[in-house]
């Protein structure tokens, strides 16, 4: 995947924490992804999955509720110094579409994608 295509793919899976549940569902549909990178003030904040959205719906949460209100406290992310094989093994084990890699300051440095 060339650099421009990868950046477009990353842009397609990013959503602001002020977005609503319906916004997240629509973005997942548009990006053909079950996982989105949540940003706050244009910086990495968390992840939201289709499972998070399903749990909110089962709990009768409003589609207009902000995704920041349903985020899990513990998420799986990598660090830029982690070995690729280790990260890919975690992704395979957890059936994760992609994994954000953070730098020492918690900034999004890279996203590695698994097989689709």
d(CA 45, CA 38): 5
Q: Say whether pTM exceeds 0.85.
A: yes
**What pLDDT, on the 0 to 100 scale, is given for residue 4?**
82
Q: Which residue has the tokens 């940003």?
A: 39
d(CA 111, CA 116): 14
Do 42 and 15 form a contact (C-beta atoms < 8 A)? no
pLDDT at residue 116 greater than cutoff 60: no
d(CA 80, CA 27): 27
> Domain limits at 90?
3-113
pLDDT, tens digit (0-9, with 9 covering 90-100), for 66-114: 999 999 999 999 999 999 999 999 999 989 999 999 999 999 999 999 8
Q: How many domains does the chain have?
A: 1
Map residue 15 onto helix, strand or coil.
strand
Q: What is the mean pLDDT of residues 17-24?
A: 98
| Per-residue pLDDT band at 34 (split at 50, 70, 90) | very high
Assign residue 80 the CATH number of its domain: 3.10.580.10
d(CA 52, CA 70): 7
């Amino acid at each position: 995947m060339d650099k421009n295509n990868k950046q477009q793919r990353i842009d397609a899976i990013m959503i602001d924490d002020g977005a609503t549940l319906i916004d997240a569902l629509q973005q997942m549909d548009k990006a053909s992804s079950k996982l989105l990178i949540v940003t706050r003030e244009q910086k990495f904040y968390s992840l939201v999955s289709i499972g998070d959205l399903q749990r909110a719906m089962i709990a009768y949460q409003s589609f207009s509720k902000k995704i920041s209100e349903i985020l899990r406290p513990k998420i799986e992310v990598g660090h830029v110094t982690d070995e690729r094989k280790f990260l890919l093994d975690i992704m395979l084990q957890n059936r994760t579409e992609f994994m954000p890699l953070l730098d020492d300051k918690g900034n999004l440095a890279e996203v590695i994608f698994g097989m689709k």
